[in-house]
């Protein structure tokens, strides 16, 4: 094997080869790279001559990577991605953007009380990117426990599933349990603000499955057992969003905090549960306390708690 002249290989030639491989065409590669087909063809030929390797099989319909070309394509693509990432990381360090915040929100909850605090934090710390994700509580907990989120907003029931010694939490809103009833259910015709559990013995319930919202079924059964009946669970939905849709177009009911994000226009009625009226179901902010790794986590939480 002849010695390679590394000075003849540069990022531009690597990019031309990678693009031609992805597009299966010298013409398409030239179009994407804003260069001529002749330049693409000559570059590939020069690389093949320099390496002594056939990179492509030329056909009238385009080009196909040879096994050797496929290997080189995969390796060079990794190099380009790593190179690009290194530049981005260097820029982050230079502009103090190595710190960012990953914030998770439970999909079906209202968050109007923290909007101004978040806007104020963004205005005061423009160098800290905020990345928001909305998801079911099950996904929220898994990502938080696996260190994919720095802070999450969820209901108190999720605390039992949170892991980690560096975890802290605070209440951002006190709530109470309510029963949500679709307009197609005769129960929605009640002209009262309160309903008793004894009115629910014949009703059908919808809950999210354990993957979407862990332990919801057990909690519902335990509560109903206190009032002498076993709940009739009609549907185990695959997400919290599916629970709301299923309720809106059916007759089944759900028990949830009074800060559930429900479209009033859908006709869904909300009633306070008499027996749970004074039992709080708090909305929480839960975070990883890591001042040595990301000092902005605590600062963000302080803005939320102060509601600046």
Check residue 267 and give its pLDDT.
82
Q: Is the pLDDT of residue 129 over 80?
A: yes
Q: Of the candidates 132, 18, 6, which has an alpha carbon nearest to the alpha carbon of residue 65?
A: 18
Structure confidence at residue 95 as a pLDDT band (50, 70, 90): low
Percent of the chain with pLDDT over 90: 45
Residue 71: phi, psi to the nearest 5?
-60, -45
Residues 57-86 have pLDDT tens digits of: 999 888 999 999 999 999 999 999 999 888
The C-alpha R_g of the chain, in whole angstroms, comes to: 29
Q: How many other C-beta atoms lie within 10 A of the C-beta of residue 141?
A: 25
Percent of the chain clearing pLDDT 70 (strictly above):
94
Rounded mean pLDDT, 182-202: 90
Does position 293 have pLDDT exceeding 70, yes or no?
Answer: yes
Structural contact between residues 142 and 163, judged by C-beta atoms closer than 8 angstroms: no
Q: Considering only CA atoms, which of 219, 300, 288, 229 is closest in space to residue 257?
A: 219
pLDDT over 90 at 235, yes or no: no
Strand duo 269-273 + 194-195: pairing: parallel
Cα 34 → chain centroid: 36
pLDDT at residue 307 is higher than 70: no
Has residue 188 got a pLDDT over 70? Answer: yes
pLDDT at residue 36 in the model: 95
Note the pLDDT of residue 96.
58
Angle of helix 11-23 relative to helix 26-33, nearest 10 degrees, comes to: 130
For 16-73, what is each residue's pLDDT tens digit? 999 999 999 999 999 999 999 999 999 999 999 988 999 999 998 889 999 999 999 9
**Which domains can be identified in the chain, with CATH numbers?**
6-94 (1.10.10.10), 101-174+282-306 (3.40.190.10), 177-276 (3.40.190.10)
Look up the pTM and report it: 0.61
Per-residue confidence band for 1, with pLDDT thresholds at 50, 70 and 90: low
Mean pLDDT lowest among 201-210, 235-244, 281-290: 235-244
Query: How far is residue 256's CA from residue 259's CA, in Å, rounded to a whole number?
Result: 8
User: Which long-range CB contacts under 8 A does 163-171 form with residues at least 24 apart?
Assistant: 164/288, 166/288, 166/289, 166/290, 167/286, 167/287, 167/288, 167/289, 168/286, 168/287, 168/288, 168/289, 168/301, 169/284, 169/285, 169/286, 169/287, 170/284, 170/285, 170/301, 170/305, 171/282, 171/283, 171/284
61 Ramachandran zone, left/alpha/beta (phi>0; psi -120 to 50): alpha
Tell me the mean pLDDT in the region 156-184. 89
Q: Report yes or no: 247 and 182 within 8 Å, Cβ to Cβ.
A: yes
Q: What span, in angstroms and rounded, lies between the C-alpha atoms of 197 and 79?
A: 63
| Nearest-angstrom CA–CA distance, 19 and 1 | 27
Up-side HSE of residue 159: CA atoms within 13 Å toward CB?
14
């Amino acid at each position: 094997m002849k010695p390679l002249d590394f000075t003849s290989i540069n990022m531009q030639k690597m990019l031309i080869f990678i693009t031609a491989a992805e597009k299966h065409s010298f013409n398409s590669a030239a179009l994407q790279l804003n260069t001529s087909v002749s330049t693409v063809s000559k570059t590939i030929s020069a690389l093949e001559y320099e390496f002594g390797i056939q990179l492509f099989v030329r056909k009238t319909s385009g080009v196909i990577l040879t096994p050797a070309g496929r290997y080189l394509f995969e390796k060079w693509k990794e190099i380009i991605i790593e190179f690009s990432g290194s530049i981005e990381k260097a820029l982050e360090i230079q502009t103090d953007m190595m710190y960012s915040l990953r914030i998770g929100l439970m999909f079906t909850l209202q968050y109007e009380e923290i909007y101004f605090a978040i806007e104020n934090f963004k205005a005061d710390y423009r160098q800290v990117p905020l990345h928001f994700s909305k998801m079911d509580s099950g996904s929220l907990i898994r990502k938080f426990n696996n260190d994919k989120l720095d802070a999450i907003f969820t209901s108190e029931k999720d605390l039992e599933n949170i892991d980690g010694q560096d975890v802290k939490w605070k209440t951002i809103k006190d709530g109470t349990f309510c029963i949500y009833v679709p307009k197609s259910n005769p129960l929605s015709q009640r002209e009262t603000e309160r309903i008793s559990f004894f009115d629910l013995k014949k009703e059908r319930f919808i809950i999210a499955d354990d993957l979407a919202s862990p332990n919801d079924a057990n909690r519902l059964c335990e509560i109903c057992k206190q009032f002498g009946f076993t709940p009739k669970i009609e549907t185990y939905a695959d997400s919290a969003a599916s629970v709301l849709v299923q309720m809106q177009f059916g007759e089944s009911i759900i028990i949830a905090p009074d800060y559930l994000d429900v479209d009033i226009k859908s006709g869904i009625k909300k009633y306070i549960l008499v027996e749970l009226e004074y039992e709080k179901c708090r909305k929480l902010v839960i975070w990883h306390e890591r001042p040595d790794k990301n000092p902005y986590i605590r600062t963000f939480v302080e803005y939320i708690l102060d509601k600046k």
